[in-house]
Structure 1
């Protein structure tokens, strides 16, 4: 399995720029982004971020107003602040993933593109050749799913470990899996054609 990476200047939604990045005869089968958290009325505005960040503060103020014992107030306030702070971090991280990442399945490759500065600017893309024997692992969750199709070695606390690579936070994994399998079928056809030429 081949992984390649490159950095280029484009907007994540610019079809002309994407056409320039594809090889001759390569077409896009599917594109999408990591799904946003499924919270009522959630959007990607600054007010969402402000609202999420204000939740821990609001609960801590309520605890201090309703609980008379200072020690209990401190423990409950700190615990609530940490828990809600982590929840706020999770929501903000998902929003950022949605804004700055784009997944692409082509007739030849699976591509993960990241735009660190937002929807425009320098885009870093990593791609993996889709072969007929590429393993596809669907991991389903309550709201979203992931599809792993490769792995990479990462340094973790003094030793190397294998980490799965793929598309995360998929709202419609069935469609993505179908596109990946279509690309695998096309690779099988290309391989068969090459073998026939050598017979």
Structure 2
């Protein structure tokens, strides 16, 4: 949606710099999309949950309540299976994107985390990547994060949007100073 000629929208007061203009706002699609990585993750979760289920069945034959400890692993396995089907679409339904003439904003509202708003300056130095398709994605930044096995790079952008080409063009215009 092009909102360039409108006054600052409700909720944006104090967040935008003087003279900063909203060029585009959108949301990622919330459909379930499974890639090969998701399918492999779900297969792993199936084996994880299945192993826990077999373990619980074998231990329950011995007697006592020791089998209950297998429920933790079974539930983790179910969570791994359900994440691509329920978790990712939930995250996308609670994410909003805004592009101004100087910055890109990503807003989320999640349980336990609350509301978060991150902004990323758009400069000529930003490496832009268009992942064309319907939906498509436009990547404009990256962050290094720490994980259990070291650091890894996270690609930041407007993911799973229907207007990826349009947004990519707007970002290129910002970089060239055309907005």
TM-score norm. by structure 2 comes to 0.60
Contact 2:105/2:120 (8 A) holds in 1:
yes
SS of 2:167's equivalent in the other structure is helix
Indicate whether 1:126 and 2:121 are aligned. Answer: no
Instruction: Give the Cα separation in 1 of the matches to 2:166 and 2:13.
Output: 22
* Residue number in structure 1 paired with 2:97: 103
Change (3 A) 1:159 1:95: closer
Aligned length: 128
Which runs of at least 4 in structure 1 moved beyond 2 Å after TM superposition?
88-95
Mapping 1:119-198, distance limit 5 Å = 122-141=114-133, 143-186=134-177
Aligned equivalents of 1:151, 1:161: Cα separation in 2? 10
Unpaired runs of 5+ in structure 1?
1-13, 40-81, 190-199
Q: Is the 8 A contact 2:32 2:89 kept in 1?
A: no
From the two aligned structures, give the one with the greater helix fraction: 1
Counterpart-to-counterpart distance in 1, 2:9 and 2:115: 14
Shift of 1:93: 3.0
CA distance in 1, matches of 2:144, 2:23: 28
**Runs of 5+ unmatched residues, structure 2:** 1-7, 34-76
Cα distance between partner residues in 2 of 1:101 and 1:129? 19
Distance change in 2, residues 1:177/1:160 (3 Å): same
Offset, 1:24: 0.1
**Correspondence for 1:3:** none
Instruction: Measure, in 2, the Cα distance between the counterparts of 1:140 and 1:92.
Output: 25
- CA displacement at 1:91 relative to structure 2: 3.9
Show CA shifts across 1:95-116 (max 9, x none): 3234311111101101111111
Q: Residues 144-171 of structure 1, C-alpha deviation per residue, up to 9 Å, x if partnerless?
A: 2221111111112331122221111112
Shift of 1:94: 4.3
Q: Matched residue of 2:110: which SS?
A: coil
